[in-house]
Amino acid sequence: MFQLGMCALFWYINRVNGGIRLIAREEELMQNKQEIFARLVEIVDKLPPVPANILDLRRAVANPYVEFSQLVPLLKKDPGLAAELLKFANSARYGVDHHVDTIEEAVLYFGMTNLVEFVTAAFAEHFVRATFTTIRGLDSYFMHSREIAGAARQLVAHGGCTPHECETYALVGLLHDIGKLVLIAASHTETLPLISGCGDKMKAVVEKEQDLWGIDHCEVGAAICKKWNFPELFQVAIIRHHTPGEGSAFSTPGGIIYLGHVITIPGVTNSVVRMAIPEPDLGKMNLTYTALLEIATD
């Protein structure tokens, strides 16, 4: 009886100690979440505003009757941006057979679509490289962002959107994962992959972030877009780009960015495309499975 009593006592003590350790661990995790959230808020608060000249340029380009001559003065307001534009126009990407010396000539080589993409991407890339220099894999991050931007533009163009709407979605694609960089910086961890998969893997990413930190990079990205005074579409698309089908209503903006991930999979198959989003939701974006496969194989 004595031995049985002692065993029962030790079992009880171990269970109590285990419960105490579990509570202590939960309190530690909660404190960590609160500290990370506080750092997130601090980082977002310190983000610089989008330069006025970029906003002016976007407003000008939104006018279907705008002429190149009206854009040049906006570009010349920022010597740094003008220098980057000339550098890019003379890069191997454009294959110009002579040196481009003026902003006027550079604008002609770029075209309206490329100009908007360059100016916004230049700001985002400069900001990210200057702010998150210690994070490894930034080149892959930018390559992925440009792939999603291009895919988003193709998807909405096929769905009948205007050129301005196409550029808007391309910009969302460029910025869709910026919250991930801020989350990595705030949590002091690089275990978070910079590039997500697709399908169930995308949902699992945000679930893991919520478990670890009580917030996910989609929410952080939406907060950044709000800070930068981007239209509400940016916030909606970014906050739902991993989970467009969750909740009571399907998110078309989130679905576009989500599908961008699907169609940029190398060698994506018919079955993967068909499993991505239910056909009724696909119809809300004026898209079909056949169209998705055509875009993916372009």
At 218, list the tokens.
Answer: 């989609």
Among 36-50, 74-88, 223-237, 271-285, the minimum mean pLDDT is found in 36-50
pLDDT in tens, 31-88: 666 776 677 777 777 776 666 777 777 777 777 777 777 778 877 777 777 887 787 7
b/e 9-35 (16+ beta carbons within 10 angstroms → b): eeeeeeeeeeeeeeeeeeeeeeeebee
Q: Is 210 helix (H, G, I), strand (E, B) or coil?
A: helix
Q: What is the pTM of this model?
A: 0.72
Is residue 135 within 8 Å of 190, Cβ to Cβ? yes
Most confident among 84-98, 188-202, 246-260 (mean pLDDT): 246-260
Tell the burial category of 119 from Cβ atoms under 10 Å away from its Cβ (0-12, 13-18, 19+).
Answer: buried
Average per-residue pLDDT for the chain: 77
| DSSP letter assigned to residue 155 | H
CA distance 217 to 159: 28
Residue by residue, DSSP assigns 236-285 as HHHHTSS-TT-SSS--HHHHHHHHHHHHTSTT--HHHHHHHS-HHHHHHT
Gyration radius from the chain CA atoms:
24
Residue by residue, DSSP assigns 61-93 as HTSTT--HHHHHHHHHT-HHHHHHHHHHHTSTT
CA distance 127 to 182: 12
Give the DSSP H/E element, type plus range, for residue 59.
helix 52-61
